[in-house]
Amino acid sequence: MSDIQQSITDEVKIIKSGVRKVFTPHIPINQLEHFFGRDEEVKRIIGVITSPGLHILLFGDRGVGKTSLAKTTCNLILRKINEALNKGKIYSKSCDRSDTFSTLLHKPLTDAGVSIFKSGDSKRVKYTGTASANIAVAKGELVSEHETNINHRSQTNLDSPSWVADKLKDLDGILLLDEVDTLSNSEDKRKLAELIKLLSDFDSGFKIILIGIAKTANELTAGHKSIERCLKEIHLERMSNEDIKKIVLNGMKSIGKKPSDDVVDKIVNISSGFPHFTHLICLKCSEIAIEQNKSHIEEDILNEALIRSSKDSESTLLSSLDNMLRNIKKPNEYKLLLLATSHCNKKDFRSREVVNKLNELFGMTIPSSTINRRLSRLSENFSDTNILNKTAPGCYSFSDPRMPSFIKITFNSLFDETKSNSL
């Protein structure tokens, strides 16, 4: 069988297995049966969204599963609660930089009976009429036709939070507004906050969930203070190791695969609380096992899966790491340094901790001053990106909190290649 034929055969087996519906690193989870962990957060969202006058702001780092959590919870609410009452609808909108307040609510406004026209919209109308005619040989009627343009001026005021709130207040449903952080104008965020306050004042059954990447809630509401009583903030932290383990074991079980304990532990460690990486690694492990007709997943499959996962990771992580390695002397030495740094498993770390980790992982003894100098070098810009931030003298953090997981995936083979070389 040729390589192409084998690839087609393998692809057919993978598709038939359904594994890409279980492990979904590139799309949010929207089916309850494939959603594991976050039990407390789910209960809290359900409690908030079913309470009169309350709305939700869900925020946190990229990759912690905000959209999956919101969509799964809303689907649960709609299926188990709203549908039982024969009311309610879920609306979902992913914001982008071209969006404004007036473009975010078209679908629910349409369902609320609002006809949305742009000012100056027009249509051509044909009119038919009759005219009398006296002719020498006959008398009759002439039919005349003419067309005219009628301009329709919109009666809507989509830029007004109070006008929009008045139209939506009697509508039952939930609106998920994802990636609110991408809205380029802070005034649009302020209007969203004002709309939420007004809907709460109306005791409306129409609820809004704002989702976005942010360190603080103020970043997504433009500092609007008066909505604190009606907008419940849920800061989504990274998942616990126990919840990450649930994703691995329950997902693998659903497709008939059994990973070894060592494989599970390593996936949990690499994921560092980011479910995106858990799904990505598990997907690649499962695909390889399916290709090889194996039910057990051992470390050889995991190592190959990590190679594939690195190639399939987000381009921003890959380009940031590549830019650094291209613009620095002795890149192989910095790879070991970064790998040790990623295993510190702390948001902020000091050079002494990296020294200890290098000794633990590779048996290397490097002066703290040398490590501190090189960590400082990594905090410099490389083509407008930097791997580390210097948060205090001798203290550092990764600029992108997902980078340690990506480094563990990408540089995994270094454990086998060397444990004796020194920096």
Report pLDDT digits (tens) over 30-88: 777 778 778 888 888 888 888 999 999 998 888 888 888 888 888 777 667 666 655 67
Architecture of the structural domain at 38-113+157-236: 3-Layer(aba) Sandwich (3.40)
Instruction: Phi first, then psi: give them for residue 332, nearest 5 degrees.
Output: -65, -35
> What is the location of CATH 3.40.50.300 in the chain?
38-113+157-236
Structure tokens belonging to residue 388 = 């580390």
Q: Indicate the burial class of 139 (C-beta count within 10 angstroms; 0-12, 13-18, 19 or more).
A: exposed
Rounded distance between C-alpha atoms, residue 43 and residue 55, angstroms:
15
CA distances from 366 to 36, 325, 357, 363, 423 (A): 42, 21, 10, 10, 7
Q: Flag whether pLDDT at 128 surpasses 60.
A: no
CA–CA–CA angle 403, 406, 412 (5° rounding): 135
- Model pLDDT for residues 349-365, shown as the tens digit of each residue: 999 999 999 999 888 88
pLDDT digits (tens, 9 = 90+) for 179-205: 999 998 889 999 999 999 999 999 999
Chain region(s) in the chain for CATH 1.10.10.10: 327-417
Is residue 108 pLDDT above 70, yes or no? yes
CB atoms within 10 A of CB 309: 24
With residue 190 as reference, give the H or E element that holds it.
helix 186-201
**127, pLDDT greater than 60:** no
Which residue in the block uniquely carries the two structure tokens 């899966």? 305
Residue 131 is predicted with a pLDDT of: 45
Query: For domain 327-417, is the CATH number 1.10.10.10?
Result: yes
In the chain, CATH 1.10.8 sits at 13-26+240-311
Q: Are 173 and 108 in contact (CB under 8 A)?
A: yes
pLDDT of residue 87: 60
Q: What confidence score (pLDDT) does residue 364 get?
A: 87
What confidence tier does 16 reach under pLDDT thresholds 50, 70, 90? Answer: very high
Q: 13-26+240-311: which CATH number, 2.60.120, 1.10.8, 1.10.10, 3.30.1490?
A: 1.10.8
DSSP 239-278: PPHHHHHHHHHHHHHHTT-EE-HHHHHHHHHHHTT-HHHH
Q: For residue 212, give the 3-state DSSP assignment.
A: strand
Q: Which two tokens stand for residue 225?
A: 């203070």
d(CA 313, CA 321): 12
pLDDT the model gives residue 56: 92
Q: What's the pLDDT at 86?
A: 59
> Residues 307, 29, 232, CA angle at the centre, nearest 5°?
120
d(CA 327, CA 344): 25
State the pLDDT confidence band at 150, using cuts at 50, 70 and 90: very low
Structure tokens of 285?
A: 């492990």
pTM equals 0.79
Amino acid at 314: E
